Amino acid sequence: MRVNRMSRARTRTALAAFAVAGLTAGAAAGAGPANAQPKAAPAAPDCSAAYRIEQKLANGTTWRMCWRHEAMAGMVMEDITYQPPGESKPIKVLNSSRLAQIHVPYDDGSEEYDDITSFYFGAGLENLAAGECPGGTIRTVKVRMPGASATENVKGLCTTTRARGHAYRMHDYTMDGTEKLYQKQGKDLLVYAVNKVGWYEYITEWRFSDDGAIHLNVGATGSLAPQDYDAADGRGWPIGKGNKARSLSHSHNVFWKLDFALDGSSKGRVEQYDSKVTPRQPGDRGPTNKTTRTKITKETAGDAKNMRWWRVVSATGKNEDGHPRSYELVAGPNAKYSGRGFTKHDVYFTQYNKCEKYASNNKGNCPSGHPKSVDKWVNGQNLTNPSMWVNVGFHHIARDEDQQPMPVHWQGFSVVPRDVTAMNPLTPAALAGANGRLD
């Protein structure tokens, strides 16, 4: 591991100075296809072969997409399509998926950083060793440093496949007494990169599963910043011998931005579902549970609650059962940080605006006076081309095991298909007729 011998504050300050000097050039830097726009688009990826990812997984599902690198945001995935077995053509899922901020406030209030927009996150792309991409391909990425005109070739993007365990298992007993075991092991397409900011190294990964799910994660590793070992503040955790050095606790608030384009159209609707359990009433065999749907017609900020979830519904496409296709947000563990307005909610749905790229400290070339954070963009607009912003927090209270190097701690979420196909996309041929009620 390369050791950064500059202090964290000095490293970040130096990068910020470069960022100011090279903002115009750096923001436009990055190689690949043009930004995805909120309009109907073909299901096949619209980019040159050098920036195209296409992977047919062992169970027959094919994922296709384009990748692009930005000096600020890092890797961006675009024009993402999913083609499970039995579908004659790819199904468009997303126009774009990207990191939208890594907000890092310290517990004692002494420091607070926006690691994406203040320090040119993308410019910190790391070269990957061959062993970091087992069985896969490491692609060369052209990276333009802040304020520079030339590009640097970085072997920085891994595409590979990975087993994930059971996709399903069913032990079937038939009327004649025979038995049949149906089981399948799942496979994922893994796309990832590593970016260094100060002492931290962030692993940004997309996992595209053969059942249509997309898992988005950020893993933080690298080093604890040694200048934070301060026993006087009373807020840190003792690191090393005795109680002399305490590592200052802090949060990592990671934002992702997803622009959906189900069935090739950016138009869609958002729905929220809530379920309420009522204690058992006289005459009932048990408690009842009622689920209600709320159509989200205007921009909104939402908070995860027990038995609450959201989905983005296609405006044009239906599966073979006649049900509208959609993707459901499945939240992961979250330590929500309430110190800033933009971190107070778990999810935001805003009307697509091409200049709204980053959840805080936005540098998307918006007009003068345009608000700088996602919470201010929820202002009552009709929601017809939804952008989904997901906020996942992690409160890092260091431990002895965090040195040295620091084990990866992950934070993320998933979006999973709901009624995209009429049945399980990996259904075995023998069960293909078992759809719905069996008469």
Neighbouring residues of 409: CB distance < 8 A, sequence distance ≥ 6: 219, 220, 221, 394, 396
Residue pair 319/82 in contact (Cβ under 8 Å)? The answer is no
Q: What is the pLDDT of residue 150?
A: 85
Please tell me the distance from the alpha carbon of residue 33 to that of residue 31, in angstroms, as a whole number. Answer: 7
Q: Are 70 and 186 in contact (CB under 8 A)?
A: no
- How much is the pLDDT for 232? 64
Residue in this structure with the two tokens 């333009």, named with its chain if needed: 144
The Cα diameter of the chain in Å comes to 77
Residue (of 134, 219, 186) closest to 410 by Cα position: 219
What is the pLDDT at residue 41?
A: 44
CA separation for the pair 252, 200 (Å, rounded): 11
Cα separation, 122 vs 349, whole angstroms: 25
* Each residue's pLDDT expressed in tens, for the chain with a length of 439 residues: 333 333 344 354 445 444 444 433 333 344 454 444 444 444 457 899 999 999 999 999 999 999 999 999 999 999 999 999 999 999 999 999 999 999 999 998 888 999 999 989 999 999 999 999 999 999 999 998 767 778 899 999 999 999 999 999 999 887 677 899 999 999 999 999 999 999 999 999 999 999 999 999 999 999 988 877 775 667 788 888 888 788 889 999 999 999 999 999 999 999 999 999 998 888 888 899 999 999 999 999 999 999 999 999 999 999 999 999 999 999 999 999 999 999 999 999 999 999 999 999 999 899 999 999 999 999 999 999 999 999 999 999 999 999 989 999 999 999 999 999 999 999 999 898 889 876 5
For the chain, the C-alpha Rg in angstroms (whole number) is 23
Enter the DSSP assignment of 298. B
Confidence (pTM): 0.90
Distances (CA, A) of 117 to 136, 173, 208, 420: 30, 57, 27, 35
The 3-state secondary structure of 196-212, one letter per residue: EECCEEEEEEEEEECCC
Grouping H, G, I as helix, E, B as strand and the rest as coil, residue 49 is helix
Q: DSSP class of residue 231?
A: G
240: left (phi over 0), alpha (psi -120 to 50) or beta: left
Q: What is the DSSP string of 98-131?
A: EEEEEEEEBTTSS-EEETTTTTTGGGGBPPPPGG
Q: Are strands 347-351 and 324-331 parallel, antiparallel or unpaired?
A: unpaired
